[in-house]
Amino acid sequence: MRFQDKVAIVTGGASGIGKEVSARFVAEGGSVVINGRDAAKAAAAAKEIDPTGKRVLVHAGNIALPATGESLAKAALDQFGRLDVLFNNAGIFAPKPFLEITEAEYDNFLDNILKGSFFTAQAAAKAIKAGGRGGAIVQTGSMWALQAIGATPSSAYSAAKAGVHALVKNLAIELAPDKIRVNAIAPAVIETPVYDTFLTPEQVKAVLPTFNAFHPLGRNGQVADAAEALLFLASDNASFITGSILPVDGGVMAGRQ
């Protein structure tokens, strides 16, 4: 098993991609610290992933606060004695035209995506470095940071995710001497509960299928598609890969048919 006896932090681990990554990491021999803002939701996810409670720890908190990243790393060390992997997956998404974005909305994107990723990665890197075994930090970036999509105007979101992509390359160089690899995935449309945060259930049912044809492979991505890529980048199978942004986009970045 790829993650036997390894320990990971998963931000945004209570649902969607983060929950899938947590479940798969545990299924492959590891233990996880799940982070999310909603403690009850995270606890329910943890119970589903590991009913024994031995290999999943819930640590709720807002990753926009640097203290949350520090407490996550400490929780992993206190509970499991080590830290090997950080899945920086938490974030928000809500398309809105550039001319309508307020300062508060702009700050919210940067705080929850870029600032949260930055300081959580910093805390995790310190803990991984102290362990002396090396490890991996895997960020969830975005196709929207690589290409603008007129149907989903996302300037503030895209700018924040582009910062995450730049962070990947900088950390890959800085942390290479400590054998800490840093990579990201750049997903296109992945069917996760994030769409429920700005669309009604009826709108989700009507809108998401319209994006199937947007992907050359003819379908939207599923959480398992993104999770598989994240887990690969965290595993020893990717031991010679660092500083990469891996498109998980059904061919969108390849071009148009």
Model pLDDT for residues 186-230, shown as the tens digit of each residue: 999 999 877 777 778 888 788 889 889 999 999 999 999 999 999
Alpha-helical runs (H) found in 132-257: 155-175, 201-207, 223-234
How far apart, in whole angstroms, are the C-alpha atoms of residue 151 and residue 132?
A: 46
Q: Is residue 216 part of a domain?
A: no
Q: Is residue 90 part of a domain?
A: yes
Q: Is residue 213 part of a domain?
A: no
Q: Is residue 131 part of a domain?
A: yes
Q: Is residue 186 part of a domain?
A: yes
Quick check: is 106 catalytic? no
The backbone torsions φ and ψ at residue 61, rounded to the nearest 5 degrees and listed phi first, read: 160, 160
State which residues of the chain have pLDDT below 50.
Answer: none
Q: Is residue 215 part of a domain?
A: no
Q: Is residue 94 part of a domain?
A: yes
The pLDDT score that the predictor gives to residue 202 is 85
Asked whether the beta carbons of 192 and 222 are under 8 A apart, the reply is no
Catalytic residue among 25, 109, 144, 157: 157
The pLDDT score that the predictor gives to residue 210 is 87
Q: Is residue 238 part of a domain?
A: yes
Domain with residue 21: its CATH number is 3.40.50.720
Complete edge-to-edge strand list for the sheet that includes strand 245-248: 56-58, 31-35, 7-11, 85-88, 135-140, 180-187, 245-248
Exposure string over 7-37, b if 16+ CB within 10 A, otherwise e: bbbbbbbbbbbbbbbbbbbbeeebbbbbbbb
pTM score, whole prediction: 0.95
For the chain, the domain total comes to: 1
Asked whether the beta carbons of 247 and 183 are under 8 A apart, the reply is no
**Full residue range of the structural domain in which residue 52 is found:** 7-192+222-249
